Chains A and B, each alone.
Chain A
Amino acid sequence: MHQTIFHGPPENGLFVAPLDEFTAVYHRASGITHLLTEPAPQILAMLGKGALSLDALLDRLARDYDLTDGTREALAARLDELIESGLIESGLIESEPVERT
């Protein structure tokens, strides 16, 4: 069975400058500056530590940050926006562990 996981740049792949409710984010690989509102900077911070599935991401965001926009659908929409901007990518992995003999 396949599961979608999301990859983002490593922590040193971004420069982050909180401004007000917007955060300016410089993406080093592309040279593009993005202006993001929550939870996008938080999503990037989480993915910077390792790839995650949608549910794992939802779980950790709820646990570590006090976010107002907390539904699964809303998160999926934010992730699509981040994919379109080039900041993150999605990929498929096997979700069952491989049997060892």
Chain B
Amino acid sequence: MRHAFSVRIGPVGFRIGSDWRAPIAVLDTLYRDYPKPHDDIPDFTVRLFARRPWRRFVRPSVEIGGDFMLPEAAPLPLRQGLLAAEMAMNLQMALGARRHLLLHASAVERDGRALLMTGISGAGKSTLATLLAANGWRFMGDEFALLDTATGLIHAFPRLISLKNEAIAAAEAAWPDARMGPLLRATPKGDIRHMVPDARAIATMDTPATPALLLFPRYGFDAETRPVPPAEAFVRMTQASTNYVALGEAGFRALTGLIADVPCIAIDYPDGASAIEQVEALWAAL
């Protein structure tokens, strides 16, 4: 392919090919401090391509392809090429990753222990992770946390943080010096802006952590915390994991082990400041 880029994020290496220079240029800039794939051999290949040769120039729209593909995925306009690349990387992970159990959760670390936050889009896991990282926690990832089925440790996967709508302003306020990608208006999920994780997150991406607390956050409610019963937590986590089934026995052992070892707590929070307070209190009580 005409233009290519490669990067390693935590244990996973990607190669991205593109029919256009622009998305590659943006990726090169934002991921400039990240390492390259181990042995220069990526784990996954992603392709950003034009469906027909003339669509490279006329109403250019980016189709997503790669080792693992969804035939019904809709293309994006070229100006949202960065979003296409990030979605394509997510797709490779969701459909193809099997070295770790993928948890749809954000993760931050302190003193070698990991705090996991899981929930549907909009529950606030990206924003919370960003705010906590601004308060001294080490950022491990906002989209996927990788659970090593052999060791039970959480491995960092610090991709560009995908901030949506109101979360953009909140993150910019917490991280005024952060490097940001372009503001992408009117994507299928609203306004999106990507933020580069801080230098510490990138430098320590290969250091795993022991999971210590699993939170199910809900934004926009009066502050409250309550335990989540183990079976409910287990079911929610299997639904939140795209490769639980594919991992078979190892996945079962790892997930039941996680639920057994780690307190599972639902927190409702009205705003970021309150959330941080609740989190710190729960952490201190461990």
A contacting B, Cβ–Cβ less than 8 Å: yes
Question: Chain A interface secondary structure, helix, strand, loop or mixed?
Answer: strand
Report how far A41 CA is from B245 CA in the complex, Å: 21
Shortest distance in angstroms between B247's beta carbon and chain A's nearest beta carbon? 9
CB contact between A24 and one of B234, B245, B249 (< 8 Å): that residue: B234
**Interface range on chain B (Cβ under 8 Å from partner):** 10 to 19
Please give, as numbers and ranges, the residues of chain B lying within 8 Å of A15 by CB-CB distance: 249, 252-253
- Count A-side interface residues using an 8 Å CB cutoff: 12
- Number of residue pairs A-B, CB distance < 8 angstroms: 36
Count chain A CB atoms within 10 A of each CB in B231, B238, B253 and give the residue with the most: B231
With A31-B245, A31-B248 known as contacts, the answer to whether A20 contacts B260 (CB < 8 A) is no
Please give, as numbers and ranges, the residues of chain A lying within 8 Å of B182 by CB-CB distance: none
Q: Would you call A17 an interface residue if the criterion is a C-beta within 8 Å of the partner chain's C-beta atoms?
A: yes
Please give, as numbers and ranges, the residues of chain B lying within 8 Å of A31 by CB-CB distance: 245, 248
Contact in complex: A19, B252 (CB < 8 Å): no
Q: Would you call B112 an interface residue if the criterion is a C-beta within 8 Å of the partner chain's C-beta atoms?
A: no
15 CB contacts below 8 A, A to B, read A15-B252, A19-B234, A20-B230, A22-B231, A22-B234, A24-B231, A24-B256, A26-B248, A26-B249, A28-B249, A31-B248, A33-B244, A33-B252, A35-B234, A35-B235
Query: Which residues of B approach A to under 8 Å, CB–CB?
Result: 229-231, 234-235, 238, 244-245, 248-249, 252-253, 256, 259-260
Q: A19-B231, A19-B259, A28-B249 are in contact. List 11 more A-B contacts (CB 8 A).
A: A15-B253, A19-B229, A19-B230, A19-B234, A21-B231, A22-B230, A22-B234, A24-B252, A26-B252, A31-B245, A33-B252
Query: Which residues of A approach B to under 8 Å, CB–CB?
Result: 15, 17, 19-22, 24, 26, 28, 31, 33, 35
